[in-house]
Chain A
Amino acid sequence: MCYRYGMNHDAYPDTYIRGILNTVKTIAMVGFSPNTVRPSYFVFKYLTERGFNVIPINPGHAGKEFLGCKCYATLGDVPEPIDMVDIFRAPPFVTPIVEEALKLSPKPQVIWMQLTVRNDEAAALAEAAGLKVVMDRCPKIEYGRLSSEISWMGINSRTLSNKRAQNLGGGFQRMGLNQAGGKKND
C-alpha cells in the first residue's frame, strides 16, 4: 500500500505512539457510551484515571457529567482546545468527524481511530492538515503496553527494557509511560 502523507499505518513505531500519549492532555472521545461495560467507557475511565482530561462526545447525553467530565453533543461544542480526537465509530462515519475536527480552532494535534476502525481517506485528510493519525489501535491498550501495566495480564507487550517502569503515583498499580532514567520519548 502507498500513502500520500505521513505514517505507515500498518506498523507504528513505539516512539510514535509514546510521543503522542506523552504530548496530548485533552482527549475528545467521539462515540462515547455511558454504558459501563462498553469498550468506550472502559477507555474513558482508564484514561481519566491516568491523568488525561477526557471529554465525552455523544449528542444523546449532552450536558450530563460522567466521572466529573461534562459530555457534549459535538466536537464544535467543546469550549476548550482539544489535543486529540479518539473515534469510536465505524469506518464509514469517520470522515465527517475528521472534517469537523479540522474546522476547530486551534486544530487538534492527533486523530486516533479505535481498534478495528480504519479509514485511509480520513487519515490522509488529517495528515494533509498536519495532524498525526493512529488507526486500528486502542489508547488504553497502547498506554498499558508502553507503561508495562498490560504485562500483569500476561499480554505480550512487544517491548523489552533494561530500565524499570515508573510508578505514576496515586497508587501501587498505576504506572507511567516513561522509564526510570529514560528519556521522555524513548
Chain B
Amino acid sequence: MADAERTPGFDTLAIHAGAKPDPTTGARATPIYQTASYVFDDVDHAASLFGLQAFGNIYTRIGNPTCAVLEERVAALEGGTAGLAVASGHAAQVIVMQTLLQPGDEFIASRKLYGGSINQFNHAFKSFGWNVVWADPDDISSFERALSPKTKAIFVESIANPGGTVTDLEPIGAIARKAGVPFIVDNTLATPYLCKPIDFGADVVVHSLTKFLGGHGNSIGGIIIDAGTFNWSRDKKYPMLCEPRPEYAGIVLHETFGNFAFAIACRVLGLRDLGPALSPFNAFLISTGIETLPLRMQRHCDNALAVADFLSTHPAVAWVSYGGLAGDKYHGLAKKYVPKGCGAVMTVGLKGGYDAGVKLVSNVKLFSHLANIGDTKSLIIHPASTTHRQLSDEQKTKAGAGPDVVRLSIGIEDKADIIADLDQGLK
C-alpha cells in the first residue's frame, strides 16, 4: 500500500501503522531496540541530529525506534500528525502542561476526572505555579466562566473515569477555539476505537497507554498526540513553540516543524529536559496489545453493557453509572460520541454503603481487587478507601467516588462468569 489513494481502515492501522519491516534485518515483528544510544555516522551527522536538522536517533531519552512505532501507530489511529510516548499517562500530562504553561498561568479542567489527575492538578502542578481552575462538564457554561487572560488550555476526559460518563466534547472545544487555547482530551477510557476526539475539536489527545491501548495490565506508559490543528504562533501565547529557543540556537519550533511542532516541542524540550522516557520493552508490549485493540474493545463494551444491565436490576444495587445503559443520564452523549459502546468502566452504588463496598471487593473470586482499569481481566476497586482516599468527602462525591461507590473495569472473560461472580459477591 505505497499509495495514499486508498485510506486504510482502523483495524488495518492498528496492526500496520508505524511497523514496516525492520530496515536493517527485515524482521517483521517490531524489534525491541534495547539500547541507550546510537552511533553517529560522522561528526557532521551528530551536529545535524543535535541541531534538529536531520531526523534520527541520538539517545533513548529523546527517541527510540521501538517507541517510535508505538507513537506513529497511536497518531494514525487518533488521526493526529505525530505522537510522543512517555513513561506514564501522568508523565504525558506533565509534559503537555510544561510545554503550554508558564508559572502563574492557568488551565481549566473538568471536575470529572481520574482521581490521580485531580491530585496531580491540585498539588504537584500547583507547586510548579500551573493553576487549575475546575469546571463542571454538566454545565458547559462553567468552562466559559472559568476563562481568564491567564488561561492556556482546557482539559477533559472523553469518557470520564470512574463513572462511565461521557463529556460533551464539541461545545467545550468550541469554547477553547474561541478563547484561542488548545483543547486537550484524555482519551484513555474510550480509545480511538470508540471515539476520536480530534474529530470533535481536540488539539491535543493524551492517553494512559497502560489501560485499554496496551490492554493487558503489563506495562505503564503514556502518550501525547498532536492533532496538528492549533496555530501556536497566532497570539504569541506559547513561547515554547513560537519564540526562538535558546536550547537550540534560536530555532522557532512552530515555524520549523509546522503542524507537528507541538509533538516535537514536547519531545525536544519537555521529554529531553524532564526525562520520563518510555522503556522500549514497554513500547513493544503496548504496540503488540494495540494490534488487537478493535477486537478487545468491542468485547469489553459488550460485556460491560451486559453487566450494567444485570446490576441495574439487582436488589443490592442502588444505581449504576454507565453511559451505555439506556436511561442513563449520559446515554444521549454516549450515542453521539461512542456509538460502538461506552467502554468497560462503570461505577455502582451499593445500598449497603461503605461497608457493602468493602464486602464486595472481599467476596469476589474472578474480579481482581486492584487499582487499574483496562486489563483483559475484570477488575474491581472501592475508590473511597483507595484511589480517591486523599480527596475530601465533597470532592469524592463530585468526582463520582462517594463512600457507597464501587468501580468496575469489565474484562473480556465470558460474560456469564463475570456476572455470576458479581452475583455471588453481592449476596
Chain A positions within 8 Å of B, measured between CB atoms, are 11-15, 18, 36-37, 39, 42, 45-46, 49, 115-116, 138, 141, 144, 148-167, 170-175, 179-180, 182, 186
Report yes or no: B2 in contact with A161, Cβ–Cβ below 8 A.
Answer: yes
Most central of A36, A116, A138 by chain B CB within 10 Å = A36
Interface membership of chain B positions 353-384, coded 1 if the CB is closer than 8 angstroms to chain A and 0 otherwise: 00000000000000000000000000000000
Nearest chain B CB to A69 CB, angstrom units: 15
Nearest chain B CB to A29 CB, angstrom units: 15
Most central of A45, A158, A159, A180 by chain B CB within 10 Å = A159
Report yes or no: B54 in contact with A141, Cβ–Cβ below 8 A.
Answer: no
Report yes or no: B5 in contact with A13, Cβ–Cβ below 8 A.
Answer: yes
Q: Return the contact of B48 from the options A18, A49, A144 (Cβ within 8 A).
A: A49
Report yes or no: B20 in contact with A173, Cβ–Cβ below 8 A.
Answer: no
Interface membership of chain B positions 303-336, coded 1 if the CB is closer than 8 angstroms to chain A and 0 otherwise: 0000000000000000000000000000000000
Give the residue name and chain of the B residue nearest to A18 (CB): B2
Given known contacts A154-B72, A161-B21, what 19 new A-B pairs fall within 8 Å (CB)?
A36-B51, A45-B53, A49-B48, A148-B23, A150-B55, A151-B20, A152-B65, A153-B68, A153-B267, A156-B75, A159-B2, A160-B16, A164-B20, A167-B24, A173-B41, A173-B49, A173-B55, A174-B41, A179-B2
Report yes or no: A164 in contact with B21, Cβ–Cβ below 8 A.
Answer: yes
Report yes or no: A155 in contact with B20, Cβ–Cβ below 8 A.
Answer: no
Residues of A within 8 A of B13 (CB): 160
Report yes or no: B75 in contact with A149, Cβ–Cβ below 8 A.
Answer: no
A179 vs B248: C-alpha distance when bound (angstroms): 33
Most central of B20, B38, B248 by chain A CB within 10 Å = B20
Q: Return the contact of A46 from the options B26, B53, B264 (Cβ within 8 A).
A: B53
Residues of B within 8 A of A164 (CB): 20-23, 26
Interface membership of chain B positions 277-313, coded 1 if the CB is closer than 8 angstroms to chain A and 0 otherwise: 0000000000000000000000000000000000000
Report yes or no: A152 in contact with B68, Cβ–Cβ below 8 A.
Answer: yes
Give the residue name and chain of the B residue nearest to A147 (CB): B55
A167 vs B85: C-alpha distance when bound (angstroms): 26
Q: Return the contact of B8 from the options A157, A160, A186 (Cβ within 8 A).
A: A160
Nearest chain A CB to B237 CB, angstrom units: 20
Residue B35, interface by CB 8 Å: no
Report yes or no: A49 in contact with B20, Cβ–Cβ below 8 A.
Answer: no
A160 vs B73: C-alpha distance when bound (angstroms): 10
Q: Return the contact of A155 from the options B21, B22, B53, B81 (Cβ within 8 A).
A: B81
A88 vs B373: C-alpha distance when bound (angstroms): 50
Residues of B within 8 A of A171 (CB): 41-42, 45
A164 vs B65: C-alpha distance when bound (angstroms): 14
Residues of B within 8 A of A36 (CB): 51, 249
Whether A154 contacts B82 in the complex (CB less than 8 A), given A14-B2, A46-B53, comes out as: yes
Residues of A within 8 A of B51 (CB): 36-37
Report yes or no: B48 in contact with A13, Cβ–Cβ below 8 A.
Answer: no
Report yes or no: B248 in contact with A15, Cβ–Cβ below 8 A.
Answer: no
Most central of A15, A172, A175 by chain B CB within 10 Å = A172
A154 vs B39: C-alpha distance when bound (angstroms): 20
8 A Cβ contacts from B1-50 to A: 1-5, 8, 12-13, 16-18, 20-24, 26, 38-39, 41-42, 45, 48-49
Nearest chain B CB to A23 CB, angstrom units: 17
Secondary structure of the A contact surface, majority rule? loop
Chain B positions within 8 Å of A, measured between CB atoms, are 1-5, 8, 12-13, 16-18, 20-24, 26, 38-39, 41-42, 45, 48-49, 51-57, 63, 65, 67-69, 71-72, 75-76, 80-85, 244, 248-252, 255-256, 258, 260, 263-264, 267
Whether A45 contacts B48 in the complex (CB less than 8 A), given A14-B3, A37-B250, comes out as: yes
Nearest chain B CB to A15 CB, angstrom units: 6
Q: Return the contact of B21 from the options A39, A116, A163, A172 (Cβ within 8 A).
A: A163
Give the residue name and chain of the B residue nearest to A39 (CB): B256
A179 vs B80: C-alpha distance when bound (angstroms): 25
A12 vs B57: C-alpha distance when bound (angstroms): 29
Q: Return the contact of A167 from the options B23, B71, B264 (Cβ within 8 A).
A: B23
A159 vs B16: C-alpha distance when bound (angstroms): 9
Residues of B within 8 A of A166 (CB): 23
A91 vs B41: C-alpha distance when bound (angstroms): 38
Report yes or no: A155 in contact with B256, Cβ–Cβ below 8 A.
Answer: no
A5 vs B111: C-alpha distance when bound (angstroms): 54
Nearest chain A CB to B211 CB, angstrom units: 20
Report yes or no: B54 in contact with A138, Cβ–Cβ below 8 A.
Answer: no
Q: Return the contact of A154 from the options B4, B20, B56, B263 (Cβ within 8 A).
A: B263
The 4 A-B pairs at the shortest CB distance, nearest first, are namely A171-B41, A154-B71, A173-B56, A164-B21
Nearest chain A CB to B81 CB, angstrom units: 6
Report yes or no: A144 in contact with B55, Cβ–Cβ below 8 A.
Answer: yes
Report yes or no: B83 in contact with A156, Cβ–Cβ below 8 A.
Answer: yes
Whether A15 contacts B82 in the complex (CB less than 8 A), given A39-B255, A154-B75, A155-B72, comes out as: no
Residues of A within 8 A of B252 (CB): 37
Report yes or no: B12 in contact with A160, Cβ–Cβ below 8 A.
Answer: yes
Residues of B within 8 A of A158 (CB): 4, 76
Residues of A within 8 A of B82 (CB): 153-156
Nearest chain B CB to A176 CB, angstrom units: 10
Report yes or no: A156 in contact with B72, Cβ–Cβ below 8 A.
Answer: yes
A180 vs B263: C-alpha distance when bound (angstroms): 30
Most central of A166, A170, A173 by chain B CB within 10 Å = A173
Residues of B within 8 A of A148 (CB): 20, 23
Report yes or no: B81 in contact with A156, Cβ–Cβ below 8 A.
Answer: yes
Nearest chain B CB to A8 CB, angstrom units: 12
Residue contacts A-B, CB under 8 angstroms, 23 given:
A11-B4, A12-B4, A13-B5, A37-B244, A37-B248, A42-B256, A46-B53, A49-B54, A115-B258, A151-B69, A153-B82, A153-B263, A156-B81, A157-B72, A159-B1, A160-B16, A161-B2, A162-B20, A171-B41, A172-B39, A173-B49, A173-B54, A186-B3
